[in-house]
A and B are shown apart, each in its own frame.
Chain A
Amino acid sequence: MDIANAFALLSNFVLVPALAYGAQLALGALGVTIIFGILRFANFAHGEMMSFGAMAAILATWFLQSQGVSISPLPTALLALPIGILAAIGMACLTDRFVFRFYRRKRSNPIVFAIVSVGVMFVMAGLIRIIIGPDDQSFADGARFLVTVREFKAATGLDQGIAIKQSQVITVVVALIVVAFLFWFLQRTRWGKAMRAYSDDEDLALLSGIDPEKVVLIAWIIAAALAAIAGTLYGLDKTYKPFIFLQILLPIFAATILGGIGQPVGAVLGGFIIAFSEVMVTYAFKRFLAYLGPDGWVPDGLVQLLSTDYKFAVSFVILVAVLLVRPTGIIRGKVI
């Protein structure tokens, strides 16, 4: 039995990565849930919105790097993030003005909106590939690790080390700040309350004199800002590949639905549950169990439930199970 080493191993390969991934999913799911709460449709373009914001942040990072601007040891991308946020907000406002508003005026069915958003998704994806190309882009700079395996081992004397990447810490810290700010806005401010009221009952909000167009605009601004932050953090933590933002839509939607559609708290909860499930189901527990078992004993197989190639299946299974068993989600939300 060696609990300390087992815990260190699990932290290094499961806890820390899942925490960062969960924060990214939570930010993405928050954007989807807010658009659903206010505009009442599933926004399939949200992944590309993340990609678009990240792309703008990357372009700004490259510009800053070429000018020799640096906030080392922090990554330059953090400095460029506001540009990414503004670009995403601009994009969201333009698509709303020229696409979604048309259907809003026609009082279209939510399913029409969802399909329109698929169209927007393809247009945005194409635009992104024209601007930055379909390839991987690296833009991370600054210190790579906050704690390395070697340092951790030296400090604790354990066989197993924990490496903490700077991008992981930044992801979690930024996500915490953003989520805290968002909840403060929704719970405490006049317009935040108006948004919750509008999400609750559109007609009664109208009777109370709440301007629907303004609520919709604020919803897009928040969703786009969240998307840009989530996309940039994801790119910083892993790598920026345009095609990945189509795939990430699945865990984000799963997180949204699992938490309860239209429920911000649920989106955060769902994001972390999906992330931890995905990482844990695809992790090989062989060495972890070896530390916990009697001395000299090692499990025969890898003790891995699913190969990492199948990690998206985890979101799918959770999604289907939630829709079958509890379609309202953990925190009672709307039902699609």
Chain B
Amino acid sequence: MSFLSATGMTGGYGGADILTDCELRVERGEVAVVVGPNGAGKSTAMKAVFGMLTLREGSVVFDGEDITSMAPQERVRHGMGVVPQNRNVFVSLTVEENLEMGAFIRDDDISESKEQVFSLFPILAEKRNQPAGELSGGQRQQVAVGRALMTKPKLLMLDEPTAGVSPIVMDELFDKIVEIARTGIAILMVEQNARQALEIADHGFVLVQGTNRFTDTGEALLANEEVRRSFLGG
């Protein structure tokens, strides 16, 4: 059994199902990437794992515990960290306050986690007293990731972390994400930039119309002729 195994996920927002028998798995210390065309249900699959979508069928088992019917806030307490795609920082709060809010549920000393985030993203230490809304897109994403890391998650889920940032910033962010994974955190990431994302992925899931089309290691998917032709633009 994987550290996170979401299997047979079927469901949607009332009406028709968006996901059909969708499966996602991640191990600790690994990066798993979900790619696929627009409207394939990538973000929906991630929401299902986090409990923001009620599943009609299937189950989510996290760290040996079945959490299928658990509320999202409870999942945060159980060790799931989430970086939403939009509105993922508190714009009027300073960088440091954003991090403190990330650690809101913790009662222990958070200064160590704060230092870890600052050493991972040195620019944030520099701008710690600046409102997050004044930062550039890439820096904001760093705040968003940092905020999620402050909960000390065992699984970090990122919904298109590189949306709207420049290619250089994207490479930097991916490097940081690999670095985070090396500390033993499982990473599940939805990405539009499929090729670059698969390059850092241990496992990749290609979703089409809410179901798994290809599931393999990142390397194998990049080498797969059909995947390249259909989803990576040749």
Q: Does A217 contact B (CB under 8 A)?
A: no
Q: In the assembled complex, how far is the CB of residue A20 from the closest CB belonging to chain B, in whole angstroms?
A: 31
Tell whether, in the assembled complex, residue B93 and residue A200 are in contact, meaning their CB atoms are under 8 Å apart.
yes
Tell whether, in the assembled complex, residue B73 and residue A209 are in contact, meaning their CB atoms are under 8 Å apart.
yes
Q: Does A201 contact B (CB under 8 A)?
A: yes
Q: Does B104 contact A (CB under 8 A)?
A: yes
Partner of A201 from B87, B97, B100, B105 at Cβ < 8 Å: B87
Q: Does A40 contact B (CB under 8 A)?
A: no
By a CB distance below 8 angstroms, the chain A residues around B102 are 208
7 sample A-B contacts, Cβ–Cβ < 8 Å, listed by A number: A193-B97, A200-B90, A204-B89, A205-B101, A206-B73, A207-B72, A207-B73
Q: Does A10 contact B (CB under 8 A)?
A: no
Interface size class of B (residues with CB under 8 A): 20 to 34
| Of A190, A200, A208, most B-chain CB atoms within 10 Å | A208
**A-contacting residues of B (Cβ < 8 Å)?**
72-73, 76-77, 82, 84, 87-93, 97, 100-102, 104-105, 147, 151
Tell whether, in the assembled complex, residue B93 and residue A204 are in contact, meaning their CB atoms are under 8 Å apart.
no
Contact with B along A194-207 (1 / 0, CB 8 A): 10110111011111
By a CB distance below 8 angstroms, the chain A residues around B105 are 208-209
By a CB distance below 8 angstroms, the chain B residues around A199 are 92
Q: Does A210 contact B (CB under 8 A)?
A: yes
Given A193-B101, A194-B104, A196-B93, is A204 in contact with B73 using a C-beta cutoff of 8 Å?
no
Partner of B90 from A197, A206, A209 at Cβ < 8 Å: A197
Q: In the assembled complex, how far is the CB of residue A216 from the closest CB belonging to chain B, in whole angstroms?
A: 16
Rounded to whole angstroms, the CA-CA distance of A199 and B82 in the bound complex is 20
Tell whether, in the assembled complex, residue B72 and residue A208 are in contact, meaning their CB atoms are under 8 Å apart.
no
By a CB distance below 8 angstroms, the chain A residues around B92 are 196, 199-200
Rounded to whole angstroms, the CA-CA distance of A200 and B88 in the bound complex is 11
Rounded to whole angstroms, the CA-CA distance of A210 and B89 in the bound complex is 14
